[in-house]
Amino acid sequence: MPEVYNRHLVPLIFEPCASDLANLVASTHPGRVLEIAAGTGVVTRQLSSVLPDNVSIVATDLNQSMLDVASRTGTTRPVEWRQADAMQLPFATAEFDAVVCQFGVMFFPDKSKAFAEARSVLKPGARLIFSVWDRIEENEFADTVTAALAEVFPHDPPRFLARTPHGYCDCAAIERDLRRGGFSASPHITTVAYRSRAKSARVPAIAYCLGTPLRNEIDARDASKAGEATDTAERAIAERFGDGIVEGKIQAHVITVQV
């Protein structure tokens, strides 16, 4: 899954947003940056390009196989890759000038605890900067795939995309969890839209059905239908966005909060 994720999903929905998030981190002029839930390193690569060479970058993820792909892909300068659980960060108090996370918070079992962990490793006045996906209806490929799979599994449609990646989009809930995590300052939340492009409808179908935990939900229902599910998603995307190059809207919230 990490290889499929990196080859298909990263260019589709993560790369369009990564540069802006890295530039936002750079605008705070940090000396030491921690990235959590770094995945295969799409934001890490941007950070290594835009931050001065004297700024240290520590990139972490719970999944070592994701970090292995990130390390093999490489960065423009040295980065410390480290397996770590965002719910229990292995770093000293007040060690970092910025903590950044692109589209990882939605997967944390206890978001307030993860925010508290991030706060504990930030210096006074430092910032937590992270992004989450907006509701699935504002993210057209994910919405189309979810609807298509309901045709394959009409009695028990896989709802992973709506439930998890797109399930933490309520800004009031995010503010509440940040307060519970110890952040007293009001967060700055911006909603941003991008365009997601692929050379064919097949690419987003593979990206979502085979490169995300949606694959696990497909297999749990009937592993023999993984191919049918991917084909059905491809047809639905082609019907909505046309043949050849396809382009759809993606939308996210970007949150900045200061210690």
Give 82-124 pLDDT, tens digit per residue: 999 999 999 999 999 999 999 999 999 999 999 999 999 999 9
Q: What is the pLDDT of residue 139?
A: 98
Q: What is the CATH number of the domain that holds 211?
A: 3.40.50.150
d(CA 110, CA 105): 9
Given phi > 0 = left and psi -120 to 50 = alpha, else beta, which region is 98?
beta
Q: What is the pLDDT of residue 4?
A: 86
Report which of 42, 57, 67, 53 is spatially closest to residue 99, judged by C-alpha positions: 57
112 with 177: CB under 8 angstroms?
yes
- Averaged over 189-200, what is the pLDDT? 97
Q: What is the pLDDT of residue 132?
A: 98
| Boundaries of domain holding 228 | 2-258
Of 3-7, 114-118, 206-210, 234-238, the range with the lowest mean pLDDT is: 3-7
Q: Is the pLDDT of residue 1 over 90?
A: no
Percent share of the chain, pLDDT over 90 = 97
Q: What is the DSSP letter of 105?
A: G
pLDDT band at 259 (very low <50, low <70, confident <90, very high): very high
H/E element holding 234? Answer: helix 226-241
**Order of strands, edge to edge, in the sheet holding 122-133?**
80-83, 56-61, 32-35, 96-102, 122-133, 246-258, 188-198
The first and second tokens of residue 162, run together, are 């709506």
pLDDT band at 227 (very low <50, low <70, confident <90, very high): very high
Q: Is the pLDDT of residue 32 over 90?
A: yes
Q: What is the pLDDT of residue 97?
A: 98
The whole-model pTM stands at: 0.95
Number of domains composing the chain: 1
- Averaged over 6-35, what is the pLDDT? 96
